[in-house]
Amino acid sequence: MKQTNTAQPRLTVLNIEQIEQIHNHSLQILSSVGVRVDSDRAQQIFRQAIGPKMAADNRVRIPRELVEWALEATPAKIDIYDRTGALAFRLPDRARFGIGVTALYYQSPETDDVTPFTRKHMETMVRLGDALPAFDVISTIGIVQDVPPEI
């Protein structure tokens, strides 16, 4: 009998104290450093939620209370449907894998050339994701730049 070496990956997850520490540090960063918000509409939404506290460089400092409210308001489960309208899966139920990077640019695997993300790139990436049997989801692959935003 031939013996083979098989890689056995091991996943170590964070304990509850580590999760709480990361969450608290994230809340501290959001409230003190903030995030840059370039969208006029998003800035308006933040002004409605936290008042007119927008830094000159379009940074929004998001208070801990607003983040905690948003987390409480978020549904515990989300149903995901396939293109025919049939329930595909519910989040969370197990780990899901897929494509989702929101790329502005596409780097050609053949030439390494970097070009603005186009509809053709979207087609290529969706076909690739659909062909990979271990992928469950294809989400927000890129921002198509060769089609008017209204479309």
Sorted by where each begins, the domain ranges of the chain are 16-73, 96-138
pLDDT level of residue 95 (50, 70, 90 thresholds):
low
pLDDT score at 53: 67
pLDDT tens-digit map of 71-85? 899 888 889 888 899
pTM over 0.75: no
**Residue 120: pLDDT over 90:** yes
pLDDT level of residue 28 (50, 70, 90 thresholds):
very high
Q: What residues contact residue 66 under an 8 Å CB cut-off, 6+ apart?
A: 49, 50
pLDDT tens-digit map of 122-144? 898 888 888 888 777 777 788 88
Check: CB of residue 131 under 8 Å from CB of residue 99.
Answer: no
